[in-house]
Amino acid sequence: NVANVTPIFKKGSRGDPGNYRPVSVTSVLGKLVKTIVKNKIVRHVEEHNLLDKGQHGFCKGKSCLTNLLQFFEGVNKHADKGDPVDIVYLDFQKAFDKVPHQRLLCKLHGHGIRGKVLSWIENWLKDRKQRVGINGKFSDWRGVTSGVPQGSVLGPILFNLFINDLEKGVNSEVVKFADDTKLFRIVKTEADCEGLQEDLTKLSDWATKWQMKFNVDKCKVMHIGKNNPNYTYSMMGANLATTNQERDLGVIVDSSLKTSTQSAA
């Protein structure tokens, strides 16, 4: 159970290793077996309607477009009435790579994935090795002690199930595309702002409990509306930066809710 990992540049400085997404390339036979396992899991998830409605990543009938439609419909519902809205764009730190294996197995069991399928996944997670390849040059093989491989057959569905309860108990609306997560809330009163802050604290607590981490420096707040109180939010003891323009699933969104497919300045 081995994989070659190719670093794919995301955005930011090319000199920062954190700005690359590690994509795993596995054998054809391995992909075939994992596809069989994935199909069993997906069938179970769909039959029991297990995935949260806010998750649009790697889900049948959903896409980046459905994610953005749900998001804009939710925000415009308030903005069209002249009510202020605050949006928080969250950033997980190496989300797929940090998933702790035992906690993932616990989550899968909780979603009713048991027996031979769960045992196979446990063995697959236990025996993984990978090496990094760039321009035909490879590193030494290393054992993998956490994470689900990006670019793999099983990675997306396992990750979706792992973060499926992320927004449990959160009152703001949450919209996800795999690990790309944003939440928003009407903020007419100070109590509304405090409610959004409470939700951010709940998300931070979830991350701590499940050994995940938000990259607080990259989490951004966008204030919408002329009467917006411009409340300052925080996570993990640090204030979140504000932004007037954010790239969201390939679309540039600004604080006037105009969109563009051009690169952000």
Tell me the pLDDT of the chain averaged across its residues: 91
Residues of the chain with pLDDT > 70, as a percent, come to 94
In this predicted structure, what is the pLDDT of residue 264? 46
In this predicted structure, what is the pLDDT of residue 173? 98
Q: Among residues 105, 101, 124, 123, which one has the least CA distance to residue 114?
A: 105
Structure tokens at 179: 């690990």
In this predicted structure, what is the pLDDT of residue 2? 67
Check residues 73 and 11 and name the one with the higher pLDDT: 73
pLDDT (tens digit per residue) in 122-139: 988 887 777 888 888 888
Cα distance between residue 44 and residue 13, in whole Å: 41
What distance, in Å, lies between the first and last C-alpha atoms of the chain?
A: 42
Q: Are 83 and 225 in contact (CB under 8 A)?
A: yes
pLDDT (tens digit per residue) in 153-164: 999 999 999 999
pLDDT, mean of residues 221-232? 96
pLDDT, mean of residues 217-238? 96
In this predicted structure, what is the pLDDT of residue 265? 41
Count CB neighbours of 17 within 10 A: 9
For strands 129-134 and 2-9, give the pairing.
parallel
pTM for the structure as a whole: 0.84
Q: Is the pLDDT of residue 6 over 70?
A: yes
pLDDT (tens digit per residue) in 164-195: 999 999 999 999 999 999 999 999 999 999 99
In this predicted structure, what is the pLDDT of residue 261? 66
For strands 234-235 and 245-248, give the pairing.
unpaired
Q: How far is CA 262 from CA 177, 191, 198, 248, 250, in A?
A: 21, 36, 34, 12, 9
Domain segments of the chain: what residues? 2-260
Q: Among residues 164, 161, 160, 180, which one has the least CA distance to residue 247?
A: 180
Q: Are 203 and 227 in contact (CB under 8 A)?
A: no
What is the chain's alpha carbon radius of gyration, rounded to the nearest angstrom? Answer: 19
Question: At 113, phi and psi to the nearest 5?
Answer: -95, 105
Q: Are 159 and 178 in contact (CB under 8 A)?
A: yes
In this predicted structure, what is the pLDDT of residue 154? 93
